[in-house]
Amino acid sequence: MTHTLLHQILDYANRADPYPIYEELRKSPVHHDTDGPYVISTYYEIRSLLHDPRISSDPRNQTAGGADPLAESSSEESALPPSFLRLDPPEHDRLRRMTNRHFGPPHSPRRVDAMRPELRDIVTGLIDGIADPGGIDLVEEVSYPFPVTVICRLLGVPREDEARFHTWADTLAASLDPDPDADPAERGKGAHEARMELGMYLAGLIEERRKNPGDDMLSQLATAKGEDGPMTTMELLSTAALLLIAGHETTVNLITNGMLTLLRNPDVLQRLRAEPRLAVPIVEELLRFEPPVQLLPGRTTLADVEVRGVTIPKGSTLWLILASGNRDPQRFENPDRFDPDRPDIQHLGLGSGVHSCFGAPLARLEAQLALSELARRLENPRLLDDPPPYRQNAVLRGPRHLRIACDGIRP
């Protein structure tokens, strides 16, 4: 792959519509520069690699020859140890299993569904609070505060601390996708400082929960004594940081991308207004059509791996372009069409394999509730900017702002 094409993936100018680049990539499913990552862009190859035990998520397995412009710097990694997102089995399995005891089946099977009334109240309150129907920034007024409020309540982060958390989250999310023209040392320093401050904040919160546990998830993680034993303090810090950041970043983009797509497809928006249950297939199609996580960088081969006749050497870095796989015509008919009636939506929008999205049930429910309530309550909604301004992030792709207007807010 040429440097030009690699930089096109990262280039801010292509955030509004990266899909022509992905189409070009799929013409040769495995792309590689001599000093860059191997880029995989087709559905079946991506899915296979996500399930391949020879593919590592641990950055410590990368070699100097597998240079990755999206890799975390060593200064960032030193602030907190890797979360289970960046570990391989069996370490990954133990930490994910311990975390899941307090979040989902089999030990907490109704935790997410039991939150439905509270989630509906939160999103209703945010829509009630829209000050000017003629000039709504959906990101600032709904898409961001909704999942942030939810994850903070779930974990037990005090509401008055959400503003500090917002700053840390923005810095760490931006660090996933460095600007090729920016000073990497300065960018790494900012991410390192944010990780340190977040780690110190969480350490204090964890200590408080150990002394005075509540019914929040952080208290349960801090005091757990299950079959795997307790997490160490550092494991708990990394897990809490992962849940805080990953627990809202993707959902912000899913809701925002979703409303943008619905406004561009007013027939589907009208159907959703009349049939709230349509939110379920709409969100699944959104996860295929406009996934909030566009690519997975930083995967590493633990052995030589052959993909479509190309041998990828041991120690190489992979980029798996999920959004390209989701538009692969070899897998999906009319892939560039948004179609919630699509009979088969086995998308890659939430990953697959052992690292499939931990918070998928919560993200799905949040998006379903937010989009159905927005469709029901906004009278004659319309875009004020199309395309909207996008965030400087090729990994977590979504609008920085989504300015819309409507004629009024229904009760």
Nearest to 251, CA basis, from 353, 357, 335: 357
Q: Which residues pair with 136 in a beta bridge?
A: 404
- Give 40's pLDDT tier (boundaries 50, 70, 90): very high
- Give me the phi and psi of 83, to 5 degrees please: -75, 175
Taking 60 as the threshold, does the pLDDT of residue 360 lie above it? yes
Mean pLDDT, range 248-260, rounded to an integer:
94
Cα 124 vs. chain centroid, distance in angstroms?
24
Distance CA 219, CA 206 (A): 7
Taking 60 as the threshold, does the pLDDT of residue 178 lie above it? no
Distance CA 88, CA 85 (A): 8
For residues 372, 378, 382, 388, the Cα torsion angle rounded to the nearest 10 degrees is -60
Over the stretch 269-314, which tens digit does the pLDDT of each residue have?
999 999 999 999 999 999 999 999 999 988 999 999 999 999 999 9
- Give 322's pLDDT tier (boundaries 50, 70, 90): very high
3-class SS shares of the chain: helix, strand, coil, % to 5: 50, 10, 40
DSSP 3-state assignment of 57? coil
Distance CA 114, CA 242 (A): 23
For residue 252, how many C-alpha atoms fall within 13 Å in the half-sphere facing its CB? Answer: 28
Over the stretch 123-176, which tens digit does the pLDDT of each residue have?
999 999 999 999 999 999 999 999 988 988 898 888 788 778 777 877 776 666
Distance CA 340, CA 336 (A): 12
Q: Hey, what are 369's tokens? A: 């509730």
Q: Hey, what are 176's tokens? A: 């996933």
Percent of the chain topping pLDDT 90: 58
Q: Which residues pair with 165 in a beta bridge?
A: none
- Could you tell me the pTM of the whole model? 0.90
With tokens 């939506």, the residue in question is 345
Question: Could you tell me if 221 and 239 are in contact, meaning their C-beta atoms sit under 8 angstroms apart?
Answer: yes
Distance of CA 267 to CAs 255, 271, 362, 376, Å?
18, 6, 27, 14
Q: Hey, what are 145's tokens? A: 């505060």
